[in-house]
Amino acid sequence: MSEKQIRVGVVMGSDSDWEKINGVAKALDEFNVGYEIHVMSAHRTPEKVLDYASTAKSRGLGVVIAAAGGAAHLAGVIASHTTLPVIGIPVKTDMMGGLDSLLSTVQMPGDVPVATVGTGSGGARNAGILAVQILATADPALAEALVEFKQKLVEKIAAKDAAFQAKLQ
């Protein structure tokens, strides 16, 4: 983390989730977006979650990303206490490989939306990029950085295709 303005809150149900979701921080770092990271539990520290969620906007956050496994209620509880966009990262578990977490995160009742990404490292990275995209709707510099990012993806795939085509010959 750095000294930049904190714009994204990242919360996880357990410190052991960090190794599974640290791609979110790497994605935010690529766009120079400041973030904070905390461990809290929807079930074990409900008052802390309530306080965090209900004060997130007034503390300057624009998006909250919540990662949890198993019952995975963290994102939903946060969404119920803030008007900010909430992105849920379902953390892979031993029991069902993350399907349990995915279903717990994505199956929110009407009127309490949680944007949910996939399990695994791609999901964590996508959560960070989605947070950047949300912030970019009101930040022209971030919007331009996303345009450049997308162009680099095009160039990266074009280079891979050219290398593959060369192997075929």
Q: Do 86 and 169 lie in a common domain?
A: no
**Contact indicator for 112, 53 with CB cutoff of 8 Å:** no
What's the pLDDT tens digit per position in 54-112?
999 999 999 999 999 988 999 999 999 999 999 999 999 988 889 999 999 999 999 99
Number of domains in the chain: 2
Residue 117: give its domain's CATH number. Answer: 3.40.50.1970
**What are the φ/ψ torsions at residue 62 (nearest 5 degrees)?**
-115, -20
- Is residue 121's pLDDT more than 50? yes
**Res 95: pLDDT:** 85
Q: Would 159 be classed as within a structural domain?
A: yes
Q: Do 149 and 134 lie in a common domain?
A: no
**Res 2: pLDDT:** 45
Q: What is the pTM of this model?
A: 0.94
What's the pLDDT tens digit per position in 128-166?
999 999 999 999 999 999 999 999 999 999 999 999 999
Q: Do 129 and 83 lie in a common domain?
A: yes
Q: Do 127 and 153 lie in a common domain?
A: no
The CA distance from 151 to 164, in Å, is: 20
**Contact indicator for 162, 168 with CB cutoff of 8 Å:** no
Is residue 50 classed exposed, middle or buried when 0-12, 13-18 and 19+ CB atoms within 10 A define those classes?
Answer: middle
Place of tokens 């520290």: 45
Q: How far is CA 96 from CA 79, 92, 102, 126, in A?
A: 25, 8, 10, 21
Q: Do 153 and 92 lie in a common domain?
A: no
Q: Do 75 and 151 lie in a common domain?
A: no
- Residue-wise burial string across 94-124, b where 16 or more C-beta atoms lie within 10 A, e elsewhere: eeeebebbbebbbebeeeeebbbbbbbeebb
Q: Do 108 and 122 lie in a common domain?
A: yes
Q: Would 42 be classed as within a structural domain?
A: yes
**Enclosing domain of residue 35:** 6-138
What's the pLDDT tens digit per position in 15-47?
999 999 999 999 999 999 999 999 999 999 999
**Res 1: pLDDT:** 44
- Is residue 124's pLDDT more than 80? yes
